Amino acid sequence: MTRIISIIDIKKLAAEIYADRTNAVLVANFEKHQQEIDAVDYNESQEIYDIYSGLIANYGIALAQIDQFKKAIPVLNKAIQLFENNKEYSFHDLLESNLYVNSYFNLGYSYCRRNKYKLAKPYFEFLIKHFPENLHYANWLNRINSDNLIRLRDILMYCLTGSLLIETFYGKEYPILKYLGIGLWIPSLIISIILGIILYNKEGERYREQD
């Protein structure tokens, strides 16, 4: 396929993709022209580079917004890399770019929705660092931390249940198992109560921030 290097060609291509900004339609339009987009030599000029970067970013954001998180992640990673490799952009310029910031948020959001919390967390921490007034980012980081605590609490509840079953069914026949069950039961109960209090307070903080 002939590589697209004409600014007129890529502007026409972008106009067709952006004809309808509805997320699902934008995704469909982008994928309809996938081969043409893949053929773009985006290093041919700065203007082509900027248009191409925007196409990739908007496609990735649209994918995330229609819950196609697995597909969105590599696209948004590519978009962020394109922005950060843009020689015309300073770091301040990147932070002023809605597309860059939205790509960052939607990448963290996509990781989060795929339960990849360790991968999601740095993106929200970055956004909170540079946009501390935006409580939306803080709420998502709190959600990640809360989900991790919930998982830990659930594990402890399984330990608690298991220790009770051991004591109930085997405690009389095997006294050592009874003491083992008690040894698991007491700390699991205490830690579960502490985690419950922490989660309750975090939920209260979230509602107060929303008010």
Domain spans in the chain, listed from the N-terminal domain onward: 7-131, 140-210
Question: Looking at residue 205, what is its pLDDT?
Answer: 47
SS3 for the chain, per residue?
Answer: CCCECCHHHHHHHHHHHCCCCCHHHHHHHHHHCHHHHHCECCCCCHHHHHHHHHHHHHHHHHHHHCCCHHHHHHHHHHHHHHHHCCCCCCHHHHHHCHHHHHHHHHHHHHHHHCCCHHHHHHHHHHHHHHCCCCHHHHHHHHHHHHHHHHHHHHHHHHHHHHHHHHHHHHCCCCHHHHHHHHHHHHHHHHHHHHHHHHHHHHHHHHHHHHC
pLDDT at residue 138 in the model: 86
For the domain made up of 7-131, the CATH class stated in words is mainly alpha
pLDDT tens per residue across span 91-122 = 999 999 999 999 999 999 999 899 888 899 99
Positions in the chain whose pLDDT score sits under 50: 1, 149-150, 199-200, 203-211
What's the pLDDT at 206?
46
